[in-house]
Structure 1
Amino acid sequence: LVLAFNVRILPEAEEEMAGREVEVLKDEVIYTLMEKYEKWVERKKEEIERKRRKEYIHPAMIKFLPEYVFRISDPAIIGIRVIAGRIKPGIKLMREDGRVIGTIKSIQSEKKSLQEAIQGQEVAIAIDGATVGRQIKAGEILYTDIPEKDVKKLKEMDVLTSDERDVLEKIIQIKRKTDKFWGI
């Protein structure tokens, strides 16, 4: 970032910056320049926060909608409602007893593939490793299986909504049934 107050930028400098990721904020009035800088800082913070959120598996609670079973296995394709949190392909799901039932292979809504489903959405998901009627039952509540290291980072970062925090606490309770110190 280059702050330019009441100056002209040389053409050679502009050429040099063009090939790099250098932003220039310039203005004739120092107060306006400072406002531009503060807005730039806010944008950067939000950008960093978005990237950090993508690095970790977030807590989510979903409900298997019994009237929407599209395929029983290989992969199981079912309709779900995201009660809280967010889900993405590649995330493992577990039951309320802590047993991992499979991995989300894909998410679709109205025949369009989605990269993410958020709270309130009703979508179809393909689950690798699960069979309807065996590992998962109609109407069942499922949770994301979050690695312990992600739980610690998510707690430190304070990026979760209140619903996501509640679901995270529920996931921690589930995991602590087998390991009393999980997530500490």
Structure 2
Amino acid sequence: MKASTMLEHESQYATILAFDVKIERDAQDLADSLGVKIFQADIIYHLFDQFMAYRDDLKRKKREEFKSIAVFPCKLKILPKFIFNSRDPIVMGVMVEAGIVKEGTPICVPSKEGG
């Protein structure tokens, strides 16, 4: 029940790491009903690996959930010799000066006065 209080703050920490103990059926049922994840292992390294895999999986799910609204900024330099189509769709060669280009990144051209 104490672990379930973390559901209000950070759900990834609403966990119990049970090292070298047996999980009683009542405790497992209560944890399931409250939404608390129980990890059990007889080897401490396996317990650690289970928990870290769980956290990585949660992180991956969050990234997938918010990838449509996340914008990863980058700075591109247009290569004038490699402009193949200047209208919709624009097809040109660029050099990445900063950041990482990701699919779906909106592109804008800054004004000459602003930089």
Q: TM-score range by the shorter chain?
A: 0.3 to 0.5
User: Structure 1 or 2: larger helix share?
Assistant: 2
**Which structure would you say has the larger RCO, counting Cα contacts within 8 Å and 6 or more residues apart?**
1
Q: TM-score, normalised by structure 1?
A: 0.34
Larger Rg: 2
Q: TM-score, normalised by structure 2?
A: 0.48
